[in-house]
Amino acid sequence: MIHSKWLPGPAEYLPVWQAMRDFTEARSADTPDEIWLAEHQPVYTLGQAGKPEHVLNSGNVPLVQCDRGGQVTYHGPGQVMAYCLVDLRRMNLFVKEYVALLEDVIIQVLGELGLAGACRKAGAPGVYVPVSNLLPQHRLATQPGSDGLAKIAALGIKIRKGCAYHGLALNVDMDLAPYLGINPCGYEGLQTVDLRSCGIQATVVQTGELLSERLIQALEGDPV
């Protein structure tokens, strides 16, 4: 049985990251899996092999280089984090299968909240929505060669002794301006959006509870 809990917040990033590492290091083959839900205080995080040049202007937002995969992203109030502390070996899940599962769950949750058209993009983990789904005032001019997709959820994971930590970030109702200070996930000009800019009214708590429920169903092997 996977246990889910909310962390007090908005939480500082560094203590949560350290707690995830401590939990993973201390766990045994019998340790139950957990999902931690959180909102963070504003922070940019750069993945283990992240390139600093993708940080354009961090301003007053702190930058943390952490041990997840991926490039640079932003976390802040109005975004729900789902940290999945799960034993992939016990679930017989390979990393690619696990990433696909996370993306599938996000896409389903977005659909249940009323946002159609969410999709994945080959070679670029995460979940995207067509720019045409955005409210008119939130649509930016697309650049030549643009695929017409904007990012609404990011993934970043770390595997240690067959166990995963870190997880996913889903934008609900947030200040999106800090994304202009980076190349999100290493992609220049990638527009980042949230549920509100797509016309969906939901709170972080509502979204997090639904996300947690669907993640647990999927990870425990129940049909979603």
List residues with catalytic annotation.
185
Provide the sign of the torsion angle of the four alpha carbons 209, 215, 218, 220, taken in this order: negative
Q: Are 198 and 129 in contact (CB under 8 A)?
A: yes
Count of helices and strands (H, E) across the chain: 4, 10
Could you give the 3-state DSSP secondary structure of residue 44? strand
Rounded to an integer, what distance in angstroms lies between the CA atom of residue 84 and that of residue 34? 6
Peptide bond just before 8 cis, omega within 30 deg: no
Handedness of CA 155, 15, 50, 182 (dihedral sign): positive
Element at 16 (helix H, strand E): helix 13-26
User: Which token pair is 119?
Assistant: 């999709």
Task: Name the H helices within the chain.
Answer: 13-26, 88-91, 95-112, 204-219
